[in-house]
Amino acid sequence: MADFSLTNLEVFALYGSVKAPAEIPAGKGFEIHATGLVINANPGITAWTICMTIWNITQNKPESYKNDSAAFSSSDSFSLARNLVMPATDVRYRVKIFATQNMTSTAPAQSRW
């Protein structure tokens, strides 16, 4: 994110109303959230996209992504959430945040997740 910087980044799981639970039962739905403040290094460009990608490290496969496109000022807060279902075995996820100065951008290539 050379043209952007992130501050106050927080990534967490939400199960029901419990933030960052110790355990989520297999087969139950939960959400992965990412929130923070993004600052555009080129404030002359105000239309941009933020994308959160989720990679299943345990099974070495892409899981999901969520985009948020809007016309932002030079800095703005963001909040992305994606619903998942907990598998029957322990799992680890990697979450990455991408930003681009293109309001119609999709998720980056899976090789970058």
Classify residue 70: in a domain, yes or no: yes
What is the pLDDT, as a whole number, of residue 74?
A: 67
Q: What is the CATH number of the domain that holds 30?
A: 2.60.40.10
| Global pTM exceeds 0.75 | yes
Rounded to 5 degrees, what angle do the CA atoms 77, 80, 84 make?
165
d(CA 47, CA 41): 13
Classify residue 112: in a domain, yes or no: no
Classify residue 108: in a domain, yes or no: no
Count structural domains, the chain: 1
Classify residue 45: in a domain, yes or no: yes
Classify residue 68: in a domain, yes or no: yes
What is the pLDDT, as a whole number, of residue 76?
A: 74
Q: Which domain holds residue 98?
A: 4-103
CB within 8 A of 75, min separation 6: which ones?
37, 38, 39, 40
Classify residue 81: in a domain, yes or no: yes
Q: What is the pLDDT of residues 48-106, one digit of tens each?
A: 788 889 999 999 999 998 888 766 666 777 888 999 999 999 999 999 988 877 777 78
Classify residue 87: in a domain, yes or no: yes
Classify residue 28: in a domain, yes or no: yes
